[in-house]
Structure 1
Amino acid sequence: MSLADTELVVRTIADTAIENEKYFGDLDSVVGDGDFGYSLARGFEKLLEGWDDLDRTDAGTFLKRTGMVIASRIGGTSGPLWGTAFMRAGGAVAGATDLSHEQVVAMLRAAIEGIKARGQSDVGDKTLLDALVPFTDALEAGTITEAAAAARAAADATSGMVAKRGRAAYTGERSRGSVDAGATAVAVIAERISEIWQKQGASS
């Protein structure tokens, strides 16, 4: 995966977050405070405003700079979590420009560990981890298309869970029956990346 491919993935994440602001917000408002979509969109808008100025020395530096902007610009709990994910991902591939499949997986694993540590959460707590971990597992074993499908199935399955982290955790059993906004965001983003990846014919 070239530096241009890395840029394409980050740009796709940003565009998808902005385009789905209302959808992600509506999902979050069922049992959360409803600001997830708004916060995510505003943060990624800030990232795109300074897009041309981001340090592109290598993929690791680019991802770390992206994480710093997100951490400082996204409000609520999302900023630290998403910012940490990008910074940890960048740290895992420091100095690398072209990323191998193994490095991409290692990058995602580092992001996952960062989210777990920052959010004091794990798989099963009804958070974005419930889609991101299955996505990463599937990507390690197969293709982006298979990984996106795994993320969607896992995100949909969060409807049967009781939230243990975030604002939704205060609602207890009431959080069962609705999908987690963060996990669904991961699924939607994964599907978009898969779609664009195939159109661009990008090499992995």
Structure 2
Amino acid sequence: MSTTGLVETVVRAIAETAVANERYFCDLDAVAGDGDFGFSLARGFEVVLDTWDELDRDSDAAFLRRVATTITSRTGGTSGPIWGTAFLRAGGALAQPETPAGGQAAVAALRASIKGIKDRGKADLGDKTLLDALIPAVDALESAVDDGLPVAAALRRTAQAARTGADATKDLQAKRGRASYTGARSVGSADPGAVAIAVMTEEIAQRLSGPTTPASQSTSPSEEEA
């Protein structure tokens, strides 16, 4: 079983967005952090893109795990472990035989990513981290899948939720990461990780705006390769 085009499209969108927005993400991080978030993220995803043709494509799970090890080993600061764990846990979820197909598989993989990020970063919703965009985005995706929305509509709902969550971090005080050291001064600026999730989700929605198949009935990897 080989990787599906959907998974590769999503990962490539994330990687290219990280590289293209290096300065923007750094500027956001400089408000309450040390200003290197965009740099660290871009360096890791640059390697993913540079080694794109060499990544394991035996399965979606293997592909995501290889992306995870690349990010973890090449991304500086706390971003490497956090983002690497997210991809690693997503790959692990897709490797489980009981994981459902289609949109439900995406939800399961993202839920596993969220748990991994929580475990690694000791953070949760409301702590002013990327989780404040990622959790509402996955909640929105799950509701869209349950409602049987087409893929494009489901992703638009997901992206809107991510953007709303990211914007709302302006009103939060940071409780994790370097920004937490600034205390109340962290209020008033958006969390760079949450904004990154929003920008990436919007890019994914744009790139995958064509399909009209209900997200709950999307072709599974095994069906596509049959």
Distance 2:198 2:50 in 1: 25
Taking the TM superposition and a 5 Å limit, the aligned residue runs for 1:24-173 are 24-94=25-95, 99-142=101-144, 143-173=154-184
Distance in 1, matches of 2:212 and 2:113, equals 22
Q: In structure 2, what is the equivalent of residue 195 of structure 1?
A: 206
Cα deviation for residue 99 of structure 1 reads 4.5
**What is the number of residues matched between the two proteins?**
201
Residues in 1 aligned to 2:46 and 2:174: alpha-carbon distance in whole angstroms = 29
Provide the rounded CA distance (Å) in 2 between the counterparts of 1:87 and 1:41: 18
1:13: which partner in 2? 14
How far did 1:202 drift?
7.9
Q: CA deviation at 1:75?
A: 0.2
Spell out, residue by residue over 1:107-153, the C-alpha distance to the aligned partner (whole angstroms, 9 max, x if none): 00000000000001111100000000000000001111001000000
TM-score by length of 1: 0.95
TM-score by length of structure 2 reads: 0.86
CA distance in 2 between partners of 1:110 and 1:68 (Å) = 17
3-state SS of 2:32 partner: coil
- Offset at residue 49 of structure 1 (A): 1.0
What CA deviation, in whole Å up to 9, does each residue of 1:152-172 have, x standing for no partner? 001000000000000000000
Q: Deviations over 1:85-119 (max 9, x none)?
A: 000000000177x9411111000000000000000
Structure 1, unmatched stretches of 5+, are none
Q: Does 1:178 align with 2:180?
A: no
Are the aligned partners of 1:5 and 1:202 in contact in 2 as well (CA < 8 Å)? no
Quick one: structure 1 residues 137 and 171, their matched pair in 2 at CA, closer, same or farther if it must change by over 3 Å?
same
SS at match of 1:75: coil
Identity percentage of aligned residues: 57
Q: Could you list the per-position Cα deviations for residues 45-66 of structure 1 after superposition, in whole angstroms to 9, with x for gaps in the alignment? A: 0111111011101101101111
Distance (whole Å) between structure 2 residues aligned to residue 12 and residue 167 of structure 1: 27
1:4 aligns with 5
Alpha-carbon distance between aligned partners in 2 of 1:99 and 1:130, rounded to the nearest angstrom: 26
Contact 1:58 1:95 in 2 (8 A): no
The list of structure 1 runs, each at least 4 consecutive aligned residues, that deviate by more than 4 angstroms after superposition, is none
Contact 1:24 1:36 in 2 (8 A): yes
